[in-house]
Structure 1
Amino acid sequence: MNYIGYINKAQYFEHTTEIINLMKGHGCVNIHIEETKDKKRIEWCKFIDSLSNGDSAVFASFDNVFHNFNDMMFFIKYCSKMDIRIISLSDELDTHDKLFPERRTADTLNLICKVFSKRDRASHDDLEAELYSYSFEDRKLKRYKLVINMYKAGYSVKEIMERTGYRGKSNIYRILHQYDIEMEYPSMSRTANKVREKSI
């Protein structure tokens, strides 16, 4: 059970050393630091890969980590499934209710609203629509999961589009990038049959 930290240095450039020391004080054995604004977020991918069942994920703040509502929800569900504790130092949030016992549920909800109120109005409208339509969110996540599972199973992008209803390859690539799925380049013409033949 390790404490593993993540910092987006581009946002906390002047306070990186202070935050690192704070994370170490909370027991972090490994801290991933995103040096640039690269959309691939290499250190974030390494951070996710380094987390195991029962570990603790330590952030400077939610605003420093998540780009949008979907990213946050996907990570929270992932941590719930893996029994990973989430600690956000600046937000005084601990999913085990040990570090900040005085925090209330209302504080957590206000935190989520505060983080995404900084986005533009269009994003805010999308967030409100998702918050009030859990069935839509569930359907979308299931569709994303189908894309990821089919790709990992060896289906071609064309086959995935036919099965999921997406009309453009860019939609498939966007989902795979969004959830940090390693892709094969330059050829995307894999088939499920090839994968099955290898496994026999």
Structure 2
Amino acid sequence: MAKIGYIMAAAHYDKLEEDRQWMQEYGCVKIVEENDADEKSRPLWKQLMIALERGDELVISKFSNALRGARELAMFLEFCRVKVIRVISIHDRIDSNNELFPETKPSDVLLMIGSLPDEALVLRKASEHVSKLQERMIVQLPPVSTAKERRMDREKTVINLYAAGHPIDDIWKASGFHSRSSVFRILNKYGIKLNRGKHSGPIKKKGERKNSQDKKVEDNQ
């Protein structure tokens, strides 16, 4: 004889972990968790019904979690009677062997049977609602990088393009800066030595450039 658990793991079902722990502590060797996307076809439930053998014990979260209506309940109970399957429903507090839940009365069982169609319908509608939401879910764009990250990316672009030998004007256009001086500012910030055309040697500050120009004028006089 084997103890087997079954749970319809609906997205809105908030007792999943509690039921799983109950089944494990009870000694279930296998816990079958049906995805709520398969609420209508229930392939794992059907496989479980085939796998159950005479004398096994089936633990379910609730009858409405496993069965879709009173008609299915009647067929299921007949199946369990023929195969001598013990059924334990955690939240209905029903044990077909009358060992657990001694406080459960016949009126509680009748109440479960009477409310089964409505509870199963609620589960079905909730599962359908989740499926529709998933189908209509808008793909969210990745978060926009921070201003600091954008600035760092722009500076890396300038340095990499310059190191690759691209002209200053091309780097300026690719960087998105408003002026060419911004390109030189980035190169100067990272100590990049200019090595092409009239832009060669270390980048001088404004005061240094003026002194250099004055010196050239003096030399020419």
Normalising by the smaller structure, the TM-score range is 0.5 to 0.7
Q: Deviations over 1:72-99 (max 9, x none)?
A: 1111100000000010000100000001
Q: What is the match of residue 43 of structure 2?
A: 42
Could you say which residue in structure 2 is the equivalent of 1:77?
Answer: 78
Tell me, in whole angstroms, the C-alpha distance in 1 between the residues paired with 2:85 and 2:43: 21
Q: Does 1:33 align with 2:42?
A: no
Larger Rg: 2
Residue 118 (structure 1) shift: 4.2
Amino acid at match of 2:95: D
TM-score, reference length from structure 2: 0.51
The one-letter code of the counterpart of 1:102 is E
Sequence identity (%): 32
TM-score with structure 1 length normalisation? 0.56
- In the alignment, the residues of structure 1 paired with residue 120 and residue 87 of structure 2 have an alpha-carbon distance, to the nearest angstrom, of 23
SS at match of 1:32: strand
The answer to whether the 8 A contact 1:91-1:111 is kept is yes
Secondary structure (helix, strand or coil) at the match of 2:107 reads helix
**What SS does the aligned partner of 1:37 have?**
helix
Give the 3 Å change call, closer, same or farther, for CA 71–18 of structure 1 in structure 2: same
Q: Which residue in 1 is equivalent to 2:52? A: 51
Give yes or no for the alignment of 1:61 onto 2:83.
no
- Whether contact under 8 Å (1:11, 1:64) holds in the other structure is no
- Give the structure 2 partner of residue 95 of structure 1: 96
How many pairs were matched up?
120
Q: 1: distance between equivalents of 2:33 and 2:89?
A: 15
Partner of residue 19, structure 1: 19
Tell me if the contact between 2:32 and 2:44 (Cα under 8 Å) persists in the aligned partners: yes
Q: How far is 1:119 from its partner? A: 6.5
CA contact (8 A) 1:61 1:89 kept: yes
Paired residue type of 2:100 = L
Matching residue's letter, 1:112: I
**C-alpha distance in structure 2 between counterparts of 1:18 and 1:67, whole Å:** 22
Q: Deviations over 1:129-172 (max 9, x none)?
A: xxxxxxxxxxxxxxxxxxxxxxxxxxxxxxxxxxxxxxxxxxxx
Within 2, Cα distance between the matches of 1:118 and 1:29? Answer: 28
User: Which amino acid is 2:29 matched to?
Assistant: V
Distance 1:106 1:15, change over 3 A: closer
| Residue 112 of structure 1: aligned partner | 113
How far does residue 102 in structure 1 lie from its aligned partner after superposition? 2.0
Provide structure 2 residue ranges, at least 5 long, that are not aligned to the other structure: 122-221
- 2:11–2:36 Cα contact (<8 Å) kept: no
Amino acid corresponding to residue 33 of structure 2 in structure 1: I
Which stretch of the first structure deviates more once superposed, 10-19 or 76-85? 10-19
Q: Which moved more, 1:84-93 or 1:16-25?
A: 16-25
Equivalent residue of 2:36, what SS?
coil
CA distance, structure 2, for counterparts of residue 13 and residue 110 of structure 1: 21
Distance in 2 of aligned mates of 1:11 and 1:64? 13
Aligned structure 1 segments of 4 or more residues deviating by more than 6 angstroms: none
CA distance in 2, matches of 1:76, 1:30: 21
Shift of 1:60: 0.3
